[in-house]
Chain A
Amino acid sequence: GENVEQHPSTLSVQEGDSAVIKCTYSDSASNYFPWYKQELGKRPQLIIDIRSNVGEKKDQRIAVTLNKTAKHFSLHITETQPEDSAVYFCAASMTGGGNKLTFGTGTQLKVEL
Chain B
Amino acid sequence: DGGITQSPKYLFRKEGQNVTLSCEQNLNHDAMYWYRQDPGQGLRLIYYSQIVNDFQKGDIAEGYSVSREKKESFPLTVTSAQKNPTAFYLCASSTSGLAGLEQYFGPGTRLTVT
For residue B52, CB closer than 8 A to chain A, the reply is: no
Picked from A6, A45, A99, the residue with its CB within 8 Å of the CB of B94 is A99
Q: Provide the bound-state CA to CA distance between A95 and B95, in Å.
A: 12
Q: Which residues of B contact A46 (CB under 8 A)?
A: 102-104
Number of B interface residues at 8 Å Cβ cutoff, please give it: 27
Number of A interface residues at 8 Å Cβ cutoff, please give it: 25
Contact with A along B43-58 (1 / 0, CB 8 A): 1110010100000101
- Give chain A interface residues in 79-100, CB to chain B under 8 Å: 89, 93, 95, 98-100
For residue A101, CB closer than 8 A to chain B, the reply is: yes
Contact B48 A100 (CB under 8 A): yes
Q: Which residues of A contact B108 (CB under 8 A)?
A: 42-43
Contact with B along A94-113 (1 / 0, CB 8 A): 01001111111110000000
Q: Which residues of A contact B100 (CB under 8 A)?
A: 99
Q: Which residues of A contact B84 (CB under 8 A)?
A: none
For residue B2, CB closer than 8 A to chain A, the reply is: no
- Give chain A interface residues in 32-88, CB to chain B under 8 Å: 32, 34, 36, 42-46, 49
Known: A100-B33, A103-B44. 16 other contacts (CB 8 A): A34-B101, A34-B103, A42-B107, A42-B108, A46-B104, A89-B43, A95-B101, A98-B31, A98-B50, A99-B50, A99-B94, A99-B96, A100-B58, A103-B35, A103-B43, A104-B42
A contact residues vs B (CB 8 Å cutoff): 1, 4, 6, 9, 32, 34, 36, 42-46, 49, 89, 93, 95, 98-106
B contact residues vs A (CB 8 Å cutoff): 31, 33, 35, 40-45, 48, 50, 56, 58-59, 90, 94, 96, 98, 100-108
